[in-house]
Structure 1
Amino acid sequence: MNYNDQEDYNRTQRFDPPPNNKKNNQSSKLKTIALVIVGALLGSAISLSVAYLYLPEIIEGRGPIVGDRAPIVLEPQHDITVYSAVAEKAMPSVVGITTVTTQVDRFWGPRRAEGLGTGVIVDERGYILTNAHVVGDGAADEVGVLLYNGDRLTAEILWYDNTLDLAVIKVEEEGLTAAELGDSDHLTVGEIAVAIGNPLGLNFERTLTQGVISGLNRSIPISQTQTIDNLIQTDASINPGNSGGPLLNAKGQVIGINTAKIGTGEGLGFAVPINTAKPIVDQFIEKGEFTRVYLGIRGLNVEEFEAATGERLQAQSGVYIFEIIAASVADQYDLRTGDVIIGINNTEIESMGGLIRELYRYRPGDEIDVTVLRNGGEEIISLTFNEDSTS
Structure 2
Amino acid sequence: MSKVTQFLARITSGGLSRSRYGRLAFAVTVAMALVASGCVAGFNPLNPLKPLPAAPLQAASPPAAVAPPVPTPAAAPPPAQSLPDVISVVQQVKPAVVSIVTESVGLNVFLQRVREQGTGSGVIFDPAGYILTNNHVIEGARQITVLLPDDRTFDGTVVGRDPLTDLAVVKIDGANLPVARLGDSDQLRVGEWAIAIGNALALPGGPTVTVGVISAVGRSVPEPSGTILHDVIQTDAAINPGNSGGPLVNPRGEVIGINTVIASEAQGIGFAIAINEAKPIVEQLLASGRVVWPWIGVGVQDVTKRLATQLRLSVSEGVLIQDVQRGGPADRAGIRPGDVVVKLEDASVKSVRQLQTEMRKYKIGVDVRITVVRGNQQQVVTVRLQEMPRGL
CA contact (8 A) 1:299 1:323 kept: no
Match of 2:66 in 1: none
- Cα distance in 2 for partners of 1:183, 1:382 equals 35
Bigger mean CA deviation after superposition, 189-198 or 154-163: 154-163
Q: TM-score, normalised by structure 2?
A: 0.66
Counterpart mapping for 1:1-391 below 5 A: 67-76=72-81, 78=82, 82-135=85-138, 138-173=139-174, 175-223=176-224, 226-284=227-285, 287=287, 289-295=289-295, 297-301=296-300, 317-318=320-321, 320-325=323-328, 330=329, 335-336=333-334, 338=336, 340=339, 342=341, 343-344=343-344, 345-350=347-352, 354=353, 358=357, 361-362=360-361, 364=363, 371-373=370-372, 377-380=377-380, 389=387
Report the CA distance shift for 1:366/1:174 in structure 2 as closer, same or farther (over 3 A). Answer: farther
Larger radius of gyration: 1
Shift of 1:323: 3.4
Gaps of 5+ in 1: 1-64, 304-310
Distance in structure 2 (CA, Å) of the matches to 1:375 and 1:72: 47
| Separation in 1, partners of 2:242, 2:274 | 19
Unaligned runs of 5+ in 2: 1-69, 303-310
Alignment partner of 1:90: what SS?
helix
Encode CA deviations 1:126-152: one digit per residue, 9 max, x unaligned: 2211112211xx212211111233221
Q: Distance in 1 between matches of 2:268 and 2:120?
A: 19
Once residues 134 and 263 of structure 1 are traced to their aligned partners in structure 2, the CA distance between those partners, rounded to angstroms, is 18
For residues 131-174 of structure 1, give each alpha carbon's deviation from its aligned partner in whole angstroms, at most 9, with x where no partner exists. Answer: 12211xx2122111112332211212233333322222222335
In 1, distance between residues paired with 2:327 and 2:297? 6
Deviation at 1:214, TM superposition (A): 1.4
The 1:260/1:378 distance shift into structure 2, 3 A limit, reads same
- Check the 8 A contact 1:90/1:179 in 2, yes or no: yes
Alpha-carbon shift at residue 176 of structure 1 (Å): 2.5
| Aligned amino acid, residue 254 of structure 2 | Q
Distance change >3 Å, CA 103–CA 259, structure 1 → 2: same
Q: Residues of 2 paired with 1:79 and 1:234: CA distance? A: 17
8 Å CA contact 1:96–1:202 kept in 2: the answer is: no
Kindly state the Cα deviation for residue 225 of structure 1 after the two structures are TM-superposed: 5.0
- Calculate the aligned-residue CA RMSD, in Å: 3.6
Contact conserved, 2:301 with 2:320, CA < 8 A, in 1? Answer: yes
Deviation of the 1:226 alpha carbon = 4.2
Cα distance change, pair 358–370 in 1 and its aligned pair in 2 (3 A): farther
Does the Cα contact within 8 Å between 1:91 and 1:148 map onto a contact in 2?
Answer: yes
Question: 1: CA distance between counterparts of 2:354 and 2:107?
Answer: 33
TM-score, scaled relative to structure 1 = 0.66
Q: Which has the higher contact order (CA 8 A, sep 6+)?
A: 2
Query: Secondary structure, in 3 states, of the residue corresponding to 1:203?
Result: coil
Deviation string for 1:320-359 (max 9, x for gaps)?
433345xxxx58xx74453756254334345xxx589547
The worse-fitting range, judged by mean Cα deviation, of 159-168 and 336-345 is 336-345
Deviations 1:343-378 (A, max 9, x none): 54334345xxx5895478547489895534276543
Tell me what 2:44 maps to.
Answer: none
2-structure distance, mates of 1:258, 1:192: 15
Any runs of at least 4 consecutive aligned residues in structure 1 with deviations exceeding 6 A, and if so which?
Answer: 311-316, 365-368, 382-385
DSSP 3-state at the match of 1:188: coil
Aligned-residue identity in percent: 33
> 1 CA distance for matches of 2:105 and 2:275?
30
* Count of residues in Structure 1 that have an aligned counterpart in Structure 2: 304
Q: Are the aligned partners of 1:364 and 1:389 in contact in 2 as well (CA < 8 Å)? A: no
Q: Is the partner of 2:266 in helix, strand or coil?
A: coil
What displacement does 1:221 show? 2.9
* Aligned partner of residue 215 in structure 1, secondary structure: strand
* Secondary structure of residue in 2 paired with 1:129: strand
Structure whose residues are more often helix by fraction: 1
Q: Deviations over 1:189-245 (max 9, x none)?
A: 110100100111141421111111112233333248543333211111111111110
